[in-house]
Amino acid sequence: MVLIGSHPILGFAVYFYSLGATVILAARKMDQLKSTAKEIELLGGKCDVMQLNIRDANQALEAVNQIVAKHGKLNGLVNNAGGQFHSPASKMTPNGFATVVDLNLMGTFYLCKAAFDGYMGEHGGTIVNIVADCRNGFPGMVHTGAARAGIINMTKTLAIEWGPYNGIRINCVAPGMTISSGMKNYPEKVLDGFIANGWMNPSGRFGTESEMAASVVFLLSPAASYITGVNLPVDGGYSLSRSDAKGPEAMYNPKGSLMRPYIGWPSDEKAAIQEVDAPTGIVKLFEKYKALAVNGINRDSKL
Ligand SMILES: CCCCC/C=C/C(=O)SCCNC(=O)CCNC(=O)[C@H](O)C(C)(C)COP(=O)(O)OP(=O)(O)OC[C@H]1O[C@@H](n2cnc3c(N)ncnc32)[C@H](O)[C@@H]1OP(=O)(O)O
Ligand SMILES: NC(=O)C1=CN([C@@H]2O[C@H](COP(=O)(O)OP(=O)(O)OC[C@H]3O[C@@H](n4cnc5c(N)ncnc54)[C@H](OP(=O)(O)O)[C@@H]3O)[C@@H](O)[C@H]2O)C=CC1
């Protein structure tokens, strides 16, 4: 039984289904949740939806209590809900900063605490908190950098404090720039900048939803049974290389690297799971990645 805070990237659901998990999707917009649930069911998965604003601690506990009352357990939690807006720190208002900290840091704490109080403190369980690459600061998004760094530290503390409670494990996944529906939240100019600079990464590209999903499922699964308190960057090496003093042209390959994307589902699967609900520029990039993943061709050479 896995609670995913947010309308999740569909890839998660596919993986959880393959592990035999029942997935509960929770976010504010029910329409979106229901259509994702329908797609999961079409694939043969089991899925429930519930409305939840993670910024409300009472709602978080109520959600956990409802799940335990209905399903008898809650042994997995993925804190995926989150976001921010782009702004230089000099132009950010105190309320703008506080809002993003409230959503990401407080919201994640409320869900972790609710899961502990409502089920895991007594029975154990596994939690994955989705953060973002904030290893070397987060220029243009000071609020989310501070909030995500807070989550990473909180995760370490909870791993130590809650490990002894029936072996609760809690880890973070830090996605690099990822092709996802979240890109709809950014102005075109910001997106164009992201796309134009996509090659400035040892992988030469963005990440895919499947690559994020696979790492989350690994950390939730018994295969990671001795891993707790870590932050796993899933970013093609970007966080390691960003602080290098050399210019990007000297470090990276402007033509793109040969790090083949993992799309995570076969090309002849249902069409619905091969789409990404994102602005045109991002969808075009995804189409390119799909071709690379399926055909194994990058630039002009075969892998
Ligand atoms: C490795 C690099 C990765 C980088 C890429 C990252 C990608 C992703 O994370 S994808 C996920 C994308 N999804 C989102 O980012 C969702 C974004 N939006 C939200 O979650 C919410 O809109 C919110 C949390 C940012 C704001 O929620 P809300 O409570 O509705 O906020 P208010 O409208 O009440 O405003 C509060 C406060 O914040 C200021 N503000 C809000 N949006 C903006 C903005 N776009 N630009 C500047 N300021 C903003 C707003 O003005 C308020 O402040 P005051 O005016 O001082 O009251
Ligand atoms: N895409 C990327 O490049 C990166 C993404 N990330 C992080 O990964 C996570 C998933 O990103 P992605 O799928 O791209 O983003 P999306 O914006 O598509 O997903 C965010 C989800 O969070 C939910 N959500 C937002 N606020 C709340 C709230 N108060 N209560 C409950 N649910 C809420 C939204 O649903 P609803 O509006 O219905 O509530 C939405 O389904 C986010 O935390 C994001 O910041 C990190 C680094 C890079």
Q: List C-alpha distances in Å: 97 to 79, 100, 110, 181.
A: 20, 6, 19, 23
Place of tokens 């000297």: 250
Give the model's pLDDT for residue 262. Answer: 81
What tokens were used for 284? Answer: 């075009």
**DSSP letter, residue 129:** E
Q: Given this model, what pLDDT does residue 176 score? A: 94
Identity of residue 251: M
Helix-helix angle 107-115:57-71, to 10 degrees: 30
Cβ pair 174, 232 in contact under 8 A: yes
What per-residue confidence (pLDDT) applies to 39? Answer: 75
Q: Residue 16's pLDDT is what?
A: 66
Cα–Cα distance for residue pair 101/92, rounded to 1 Å: 13
Question: Rounded to the nearest 10 degrees, what angle do helices 10-18 and 209-220 cross at?
Answer: 40
DSSP code, position 200: S
Measured from the CB, is residue 96 less than 6 Å from ligand 1? yes
Q: Check residue 13 and give its pLDDT.
A: 59
CA of 81 to the centre of ligand 2 (A): 4
Q: Is 262 in the pocket of ligand 1 (CB under 6 A)?
A: no
- Mean pLDDT, 10 residues at a time, over the chain (303 residues)? 62 63 89 83 82 97 97 94 95 98 98 97 96 95 98 98 94 94 87 88 89 89 95 94 75 80 58 67 86 58 38
For ligand 1, atom 51, the nearest C-alpha belongs to 96
* CA-based torsion, 122, 125, 126, 129: positive or negative: negative
Domains of the chain by residue range: 2-302
- Mutate which of 31, 78, 180, 216 for ligand 2? The one with the most ligand atoms within 8 Å of its CB, which is 180
Mutate which of 99, 131, 186, 240 for ligand 1 pocket (most atoms within 8 A of beta carbon): 99
Q: Is the ipTM here above 0.90?
A: yes
Ligand 1 touching residue 153 (CB < 6 A):
no
Measured from the Cβ of residue 118, the count of other Cβ atoms closer than 10 Å reads 20
Which pLDDT score, from 0 to 100, does residue 277 have? 80
CA 188/CA 55 separation, integer angstroms: 28
Q: Closest by alpha carbon to 159, among 197, 184, 117, 128?
A: 128
CATH superfamily of 2-302: NAD(P)-binding Rossmann-like Domain (3.40.50.720)
At 299 the pLDDT is 45
**DSSP conformation class of 120:** I
